[in-house]
């Protein structure tokens, strides 16, 4: 290692800052967040820096640097563009065994400022040893997206219970296991949802219980989106990577599944038309059993679990069994496939409303109100309707929808295998018989389809 990563406790301590411009201001912002008192030397002082000094008991020592100002300082930071002055400050600090950072001059630094992910009391520092600061900032940006901001609340909750947990468990391994379960279980999830009182109550219950080392099971109903893993939400990814058990559908892409925790138990419960690998009642039972066994269970569904995903049925079963659960929305196929195909669902010149309809018909066409769907100035999106395309077209035509109404089939939307077929109600059935686009696919009906040739951006249409 070029540097040993350490964390300074600067609460109430004086830090000497030489240079009051933009660079000095950036360093000052960090210092006051760490509780330091800034002693500034500078000819000119940025107005915001002057305000920081006033608000946080800082002071301006003078305009010109002199070694005497090093006395009583915990840390020294030189933020000047005077190379000779920077070298002098560095030499003086080394002689006094004071930590010195000369901004943008690694050779003159005995410590460096890392890129910081602040979830106080949890703080993460990333450094490239001054050799690639932009790379360090990029890594910080990635961590910022992976670590919920409420980790700060979780750390503060742990601090409040630290002494109680130590008193409850005399063995360090017992304490470790308790905190691991806490930080990865229902208590943490309540914190991440902003339910602090509920989180504190659950933590106290687990602490009071004699078998508090065992985690409390929970089910996370997660929308996996249409297939492109980059369309997952941050929360979906976090829960997928901490799940003990994952129950997943046929429409969940391999790329999305690869993001689940490597050692999680993966259970396929997918369904095809007239071919259910696991019947819905058995899926409901599996969710309850796995959660009752103390597992964190992700129920992974393609698209959004509440849009033709039977998510509500599964949650009713969990509610009746007293199993805690969460719902993480996903990008539903109507939104994702239309966007990737270049078809806006609404447009002030063509459609002012959108209707989402399931094409998975029972009793042929008896469940669909085609008269309502024939109204103009709306976009229709049919899910799971590829096998009933002819019936859908026939129903719309019979209710007066013009034969030249535009229609698009989007197959395997948002994936590299995406294909788009456009036409009219008059010719789309014949086109599909020739093209044989595979499921899963959505059907989009409406004049917005006319925009597809000019707005298509992902893959190419047939």
The answer to whether 208 is a known catalytic residue is no
- Alpha-carbon span 53 to 4, nearest angstrom: 30
> Taking the mean position of all CA atoms in its chain, how far away is CA 103?
33
Is residue 11 within 8 A of residue 129, CB to CB? The reply is no
- Alpha-carbon span 367 to 78, nearest angstrom: 74
- Of 249, 301, 304, 355, which one is the catalytic site residue? 249
Exposure b/e, 157-181, CB count within 10 A at least 16 = b: bbeebeeebeebbeeeeebebbeeb
Kindly state the tokens that stand for 452: 């597809």
Is residue 378 within 8 A of residue 335, CB to CB? The reply is no
DSSP states along 349-376:
TTBS-EEEEE---STTTTT--HHHHT-S
Helix, strand or coil for residue 347?
A: strand
Q: 386: which DSSP letter?
A: G
Is residue 264 within 8 A of residue 176, CB to CB? The reply is no
| Helix pair 389-398, 428-435: axis angle to 10 deg | 170
Taking alpha carbons only, the member of 304, 280, 411 closest to residue 356 is: 304
The answer to whether 249 is a known catalytic residue is yes
The strand ranges marked E within 233-278 are 245-248, 265-268, 271-272, 275-276
Residues annotated catalytic, as ranges: 249, 271
């Amino acid at each position: 290692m070029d540097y040993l990563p350490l964390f300074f406790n600067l609460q109430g301590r004086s830090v000497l800052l030489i240079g009051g411009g933009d660079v000095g201001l950036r360093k000052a912002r960090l210092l006051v967040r760490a509780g330091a008192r800034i002693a500034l030397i500078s000819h000119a002082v940025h107005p915001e820096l002057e305000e920081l000094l006033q608000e946080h008991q800082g002071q301006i020592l003078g305009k010109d640097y002199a070694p005497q100002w090093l006395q009583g300082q915990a840390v020294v930071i030189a933020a000047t563009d005077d190379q000779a002055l920077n070298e002098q400050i560095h030499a003086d600090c080394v002689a006094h065994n004071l930590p010195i950072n000369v901004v943008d001059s690694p050779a003159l630094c005995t410590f460096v400022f890392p890129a910081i992910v602040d979830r106080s009391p949890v703080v993460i520092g990333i450094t490239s040893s001054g050799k690639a600061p932009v790379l360090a900032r990029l890594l910080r940006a990635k961590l910022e997206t992976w670590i919920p901001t409420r980790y700060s609340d979780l750390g503060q909750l742990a601090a409040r219970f630290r002494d109680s947990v130590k008193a409850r468990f005399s063995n360090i391994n017992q304490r470790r296991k308790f905190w691991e379960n806490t930080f990865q279980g229902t208590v943490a999830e309540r914190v991440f949802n902003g339910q602090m009182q509920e989180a504190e109550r659950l933590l106290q219950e687990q602490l009071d219980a004699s078998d508090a080392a065992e985690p409390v099971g929970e089910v996370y109903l997660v929308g996996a989106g249409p297939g492109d893993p980059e369309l997952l939400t941050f929360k979906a990814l976090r829960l997928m990577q901490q799940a003990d058990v994952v129950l997943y559908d046929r429409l969940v892409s391999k790329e999305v599944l690869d993001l689940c925790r490597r050692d999680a138990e993966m259970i396929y419960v997918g369904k095809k038309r007239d071919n259910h690998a696991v019947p819905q009642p058995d899926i409901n039972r599996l969710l309850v059993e796995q959660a009752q066994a103390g597992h964190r269970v992700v129920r992974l569904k393609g698209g959004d679990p509440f849009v033709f995903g039977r998510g509500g049925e599964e949650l009713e079963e969990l509610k009746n069994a007293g199993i805690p659960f969460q719902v993480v929305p996903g990008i539903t196929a109507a939104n994702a496939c239309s966007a990737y195909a270049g078809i806006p669902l609404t447009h002030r010149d063509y459609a002012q409303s959108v209707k989402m309809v399931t094409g998975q018909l029972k009793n042929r066409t008896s469940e669909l109100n085609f008269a309502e769907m024939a109204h103009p100035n709306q976009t229709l999106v049919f899910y799971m309707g590829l096998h009933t395309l002819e019936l859908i077209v026939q129903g719309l035509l019979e209710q007066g929808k013009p034969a030249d109404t535009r229609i698009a089939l989007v197959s395997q939307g948002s994936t590299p295998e995406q294909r788009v077929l456009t036409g009219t109600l008059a010719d789309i059935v014949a086109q599909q018989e020739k093209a044989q686009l595979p499921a899963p696919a959505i059907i989009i009906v409406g004049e917005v389809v006319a925009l597809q040739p000019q707005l298509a951006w992902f893959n190419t249409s047939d």
